[in-house]
Chain A
Amino acid sequence: MTRGAEALPRMASGLAKNLNETATIAIDAVADIVTARQRGREMALRLGFSETESTLIATIISELSRNVVLYAQHGEIRLEASTKSGKRGLVIISHDEGPGIPDVQRAIVGGYSTSGGLGLGLCGVQRMVDELHIDTKIGRGTTITAKKWLS
C-alpha cells in the first residue's frame, strides 16, 4: 500500500521528466555521430518508440550528423522530447554554420550530393519523418528540424 502510493508520484515525475527531456550533442568528429545516434535511440525508447522506430530514428540522426561533419565540420545535434495534439514525439534539430545547401529541392529529391556521399541522406530522412523543415543560407549555415510523432 505504502509502496504503491510512493510509486505513483515517482512514475508521474518520471514521465514529466521524459516529456521535457532535451540533449545537445556537439558534432566535431565522426565519433560524435555515434554519440548522437546512441543518445537519440535511448531517448526514443524512453519516449515509447519501438525498437524498430528507435533504430530508424538513430539512423536519421546518423545521416543528419554526418552531413554536419562532411559539409560544415562542426555543429550540433539537439534532441527534444515534445508533444503535439496529445501525441508524444521526438524533435531532432541539426545545426551548423557551414556552407549551406545550394539547392534544397534537389537535396531532398535525392541522388544529389556534393560531398561524394550517396545523396540519399536527406531524401531518405524526409520520407521517414512526419515533419521536416530546412532552413539554409549560403555561407551562413543550415538548420534542419525533423519531427517524429508516436503513432
Chain B
Amino acid sequence: MDVPVLKQRDYLIASVQAVLTDRDLVVLRDRLVEQVGYYRSIGVILDVTGLDVMDSFSVRTLRDMAHMIRLRGADTVIVGIQPEVAFSMVQLGLSLEGVPTALDLEEGLAYFDNRPKRNHTRLR
C-alpha cells in the first residue's frame, strides 16, 4: 500500500489511508526521511487515521522516523490517532516518547504555524 505524500507550502503531508504492513511502514519512513531533503521541508505531518492498530513495531518505526527527520532538520507531528488506538497504546505501555501529536490535519498545520488552537500534548 503506497501512502500519498503531499507537498503543502514548507510541509510534507502523508496520509495513511489504509492498513499498512510492517514493510509498508518502513518504506514510508525511508521515503519521508529522504523527501524532507528533496522538497526542503521544515515539517512533516503524518496522518495515521487509517492505521488499524499501533503495536510495538509501528510505534517504534514512527518514533525512529521522527528522530531521523529531526536529524535532517525538520520536525514531525503525528495526527489522527483514533480513540481506540490511543486506548490500546496506553494499555500496552507503548509510547511515542516526545514525538508531538495533534488531533487532526488541521491541528497539525496549526502546530507548525505556531498558532495552536488547542493545547498540544507531547506523549512521553
Q: Is A11's CB within 8 Å of the partner chain B?
A: no
Main secondary structure of the interface of A (DSSP, over half): helix
Would B21 and A55 count as touching, CB distance under 8 A?
A: no
Q: Is A147's CB within 8 Å of the partner chain B?
A: no
A51 to B52, CA, bound (A): 11
Chain B residues contacting A41 (CB-CB under 8 Å) are 52
- Quick one: which of A34, A51, A63 contacts B19, CB cutoff 8 A? A34
Chain B residues contacting A34 (CB-CB under 8 Å) are 19-21, 52
Q: Is A18's CB within 8 Å of the partner chain B?
A: no
Known contacts A59-B88, A118-B60, A124-B92: A66-B19 contact under CB 8 Å:
no
Chain A residues contacting B22 (CB-CB under 8 Å) are 30, 33, 66
User: Which A residues contact B (CB, under 8 angstroms)?
Assistant: 30-31, 33-34, 37-38, 41, 51-52, 54-56, 58-59, 62-63, 66, 110, 117-118, 120-121, 123-125, 127-128
* CB pairs A–B below 8 angstroms (12 shown): A30-B23, A33-B21, A33-B22, A52-B88, A54-B84, A56-B84, A59-B55, A66-B57, A118-B56, A118-B57, A118-B94, A120-B93
User: Which B residues contact A (CB, under 8 angstroms)?
Assistant: 19-23, 52-57, 59-60, 82-85, 87-88, 91-94
